Structure formats: C-alpha cells, structure tokens
Structure 1
C-alpha cells in the first residue's frame, strides 16, 4: 500500500533533494577543496599503489605545487624508483583518477 502526500506545495523539500555525491562534489567545488583532497588521496594511497615493501622504506611523503616529494631510507630503492619515475607518476594519478601530480621527486 503506497502512501501519498496529503498535499504538495511548491515549497516542498522534494525539489531540494540532491544525491549525496553531487552535494559533496558541489561543496568541494565551491570551497575549492577538490585539489587539496586529491593531494591527500595521493599521499594516502602511496602504500596501496607502491606496495608494503616500498612503504616501509618511505620516511616522509608530501605534495607541494603538484610535485610529490618522497624521502626514502634506502639508496638502492631510491635509484630504482628514479628509473621508474614516469610509471610511478602514472600509477598514482590513475589511482586518484585525475592528473594531480606533475612530477615525483625522490629525496
């Protein structure tokens, strides 16, 4: 048995209903937070993208001016990742779904 509203007015809240995803997207756009959220997502997904072994050797990771800075505790690993820099960059951006990072710098 379906219930109907007793009356529907033009000030009804029904016209204000927006899916949560659309509301959050609009909020992020209005407050210009999407870029920062994407940067945080890149940092948070470092272990997932690079694996546990690399994450354990990572001492510090941060984003500044669309550059990802990664400080590693292993010189051989640093050398290996420098050689695969473009692949690392592609994998991280693919994880976020946008080109958030333009360059990766290994320290």
Structure 2
C-alpha cells in the first residue's frame, strides 16, 4: 500500500514556475497587445534614438498602420531627415528589435 505525502514536495512546485519575462510575453501575446506596445516603445524612444537636437524640433510623433508620422518645426531639418529616411527607419526598428515601422512620414 502506497502512502501519499500530505504536502507536495518543493520540487513539484518548480514545474509550475515560469520566469516573469516569459509570463508577461505570453500575456501580451494572448491579448494581442505586443504590436501596440512596440508602437508605443518606438514613439517613446524617438528622443533617445534621434538625439536631443532633433527631439527639440519635433512637435508630434505617432504611429498609425505601421507608419511613423513625425511633425517637425524646422523645414531644413525635415529635408535632412527625408534624405536619411531609411537610416531613421532602421534605427527605430533596431531600438525595438522588430520591424514595427514600415514607413516614416515627415509632416
């Protein structure tokens, strides 16, 4: 006759333990929020990626349909950034680690 232990051993609980990062990732995937979180991360990292000088001449930054819209207060800066649009796009996507932004539009 086999006896059951009244309390599960400490080792049996370890199979239920999931690292916090994996749990949050699974939650974001389940609620389909990862894409929106990445968009918010791109907008929030605009100053860090582009630098303080460009951020000071930026009026508005938002994402819609995988396009990043940036409203600038300086026409010469707008022209410079249009010429470097590909590099801006690569730097922003590299910051997030995924290709979130497909196009950058300077307004």
Per the normalisation by structure 1, the TM-score is: 0.89
Structure 2 stretches of 5 or more lacking a match?
Answer: 1-5
- Partner SS for 1:98: coil
CA distance, structure 2, for counterparts of residue 7 and residue 38 of structure 1: 43
Residues 45-89 of structure 1: CA distance to partner in whole angstroms, max 9, x if unpaired? 000000000000000000000000000000000000000000000
* 1:15 matches 2:10: no
Counterpart of 2:3? none
Counterpart of 1:99? 99
Q: Measure how far apart 1:17 and its partner are.
A: 1.1
CA distance, structure 2, for counterparts of residue 14 and residue 93 of structure 1: 36
Counterpart of 2:71? 71
The alignment of Structure 1 onto Structure 2 pairs a total of residues equal to 100
Q: Measure how far apart 1:13 and its partner are.
A: 4.0
* 1:90 matches 2:94: no
- Partner SS for 1:43: helix
Q: Measure how far apart 1:103 and its partner are.
A: 0.1
Counterpart of 2:51? 51
- Partner SS for 2:99: coil
- Partner SS for 1:71: strand
